[in-house]
Amino acid sequence: MSDSVKIKNSIETVGKLVKTVIADIQARPDYSGSGQLKAMVSQLRTFSQHVLNNETNGTAQTYQELRAEALQRIVPEVHKLIDANIEMAGLGQLNTARKVQPSVLQSQNKTLQTLLNALEMMIALIGVPSSTSQSSGTGAHPSGTEAAGKPEPAIPSADVMAPAPPDQRFTGTVSFDGVMPFKEVEQSVSASLMSHQ
Report the distance separating Cα 156 and Cα 33, nearest Å: 28
**Count of C-beta atoms within a 10 Å radius of residue 145:** 16
Which pLDDT score is estimated for 183?
A: 56
Flag the least confident range among 34-38, 89-93, 154-158.
154-158
Flag the least confident range among 61-70, 93-102, 161-170.
161-170
Between 161 and 2, residue with greater pLDDT: 2
Which pLDDT score is estimated for 147?
A: 45
The model's pTM: 0.63
Whether 175 shows a pLDDT value over 50: the answer reads no
Residue 1's pLDDT band (boundaries 50, 70, 90)? low
Q: How confident is the model over 16-45, as a mean pLDDT?
A: 93
Which pLDDT score is estimated for 74?
A: 96
**Count of C-beta atoms within a 10 Å radius of residue 177:** 4
> What are 12-29's pLDDT values in tens digits?
999 999 999 999 999 998
Flag the least confident range among 18-22, 93-97, 119-123, 168-172.
168-172
Between 194 and 63, residue with greater pLDDT: 63
> What are 106-154's pLDDT values in tens digits?
999 999 999 999 999 999 999 876 543 443 344 444 444 444 444 444 4
Which pLDDT score is estimated for 139?
A: 44
Strand-pair partners of 176: 179
Cα 43 to Cα 46, 51, 60, 61, 78: the distances in Å are 5, 12, 23, 21, 11
Beta-carbon contacts of 144 under 8 Å, excluding residues fewer than 6 positions away, are 71, 120, 123, 124, 152, 153
**Count of C-beta atoms within a 10 Å radius of residue 120:** 19
